[in-house]
Amino acid sequence: MAILVPIYAYFILKIKLDKHNAAALAGSFGSISAVTFVTAGAFLHNLKVEYGGFIVAGMALMESPAIVIAVVLDRLNKNKMNGGSRINWKALLHEALFGSSIYLLVGALIVGYITGDSGWKAEKVFADDLFKGILTFFLLDMGISAARRFKELAHVGLFLIVTAIVLMVVNATVGLILTKVIGMPVGDALMFVVLCASASYIAVPAAMKDMIPEANPSIYLTVALSIVFPINIIAGIPLYYYFVTLT
């Protein structure tokens, strides 16, 4: 999904957007939202539904490929315009594979694996008991950030609003079908669908700012933060859970 979504989304988005903005926004849809993922985890925790730790590793793995694909699409377009300039693959792969968010996710997995149950017991007060309160404050802050960008929705246009919702629904549906085919447990299935349906507003914008500076942040950041994120948090997660639990 992290490879396929940015490719097909790019060709849809460039119907109305220039190729730079289409590539950046496609990368956002192909990547994931860690905050939405964590919120879905809290949702499952409240329902006493467990999910496997491997899905967290899946989250880390799904973040980078979309960045690579987005930048490659943009560079290929530049090559056509400039007569075939070479892509700096070293810089591209370094940005996608060794970004701070990847270090954080992979590092957390390694620390958790090394410390095991004793590490969990030591951090349980912070990572379990206090987690809901911390998440509440963080989501309130994200809500404020999203609300501040609502006025920019007028600039992104009806096409992007509708397309963002359609892409989110399509990606969630494909993810749901895959979970049924594979036979994933309910908890794992929900987390995977959430990963498929979310859009990045942290890792991808940070990468696009440097890798595709021609793209307008008010487009890809506004769509991810003010459209996809609140819909997933408010309605998406409960709906995905409902469909995941259907036999």
Residues 6+ apart with CB under 8 A from 126: none
pLDDT at 112: 77
- Residue 48 sits at φ, ψ, to 5 deg, of 60, 35
pLDDT at 76: 78
| 179-181-182 Cα angle (round to 5) | 65
Q: Smallest Cα–Cα separation from 134: which of 35, 47, 204, 237?
A: 35
How many CA atoms lie less than 13 Å away from 15 in the CB half-sphere?
8
**Alpha carbons 10 and 4: distance in angstroms, whole number:** 10
Architecture of the domain spanning 4-245: Up-down Bundle (1.20)
pLDDT at 179: 94
The full set of domain ranges for the chain reads: 4-245
For every residue of 71-85, DSSP letters joined together read HHHHHHHHHHHHT-P
Cβ count within 10 A of residue 186: 16
pLDDT at 214: 86
pLDDT at 204: 81
Q: What is the pLDDT of residues 25-43, one digit of tens each?
A: 999 999 988 889 989 998 9
pLDDT at 10: 93
Read off the pTM. 0.79
- Label residue 125 exposed, middle or buried (CB < 10 Å: 0-12, 13-18, 19+): exposed
- Residue 50 sits at φ, ψ, to 5 deg, of -95, 155
Asked if 188 and 171 count as a contact pair (C-beta separation under 8 A), the reply is no
pLDDT at 129: 67
Regions of the chain short of the pLDDT cut 50 = none
**Alpha carbons 68 and 73: distance in angstroms, whole number:** 9
